[in-house]
Amino acid sequence: MEYAIINYVFDSMGLDKLNCEVLEGNDAVVKMHTKFLFREEGFRRSNIIKNGVRIGVHFLGLTREDWVAGRVSIRERYSGVFDKFAIVISERSAESAAVSVEPAP
């Protein structure tokens, strides 16, 4: 689903960069984003309070240029997974879209 959303953001919405923030301790999500070419751009220690505890936030970014250069290799690497599902992105308005995952036909 991440692959389809990134394609949608760069191809249909025309954005030049995606930024994301991942809470400290959520290493699996950081790893997943880096598999899809996001680069870690920084870490802010003690940035938010969650359940009464101060935790840091990882900042990651992906540029259109990096995505265009690397998306074919991502598609090839994960084609076995991608081919099992159909990702449908339907625009609700200029500001929002709905994403659904269905078994591939």
Alpha carbon 10 to its chain's center:
12
CA distances from 62 to 37, 59, 81 (A): 7, 11, 22
Could you list the pLDDT tens digit for every one of the 105 residues in the chain?
788 889 888 988 889 999 999 999 999 999 999 999 999 999 999 999 999 999 999 999 999 999 999 998 988 888 777 777 766 656 555 555 555 556 666
Residue-wise pLDDT tens digits, 25-36: 999 999 999 999
pLDDT at 89: 54
Alpha-carbon gap, residue 68 to 21, rounded angstroms: 22
Domains of the chain: 2-103 (3.40.630.30)
Within 10 angstroms of residue 30's Cβ, the number of other Cβ atoms is 19
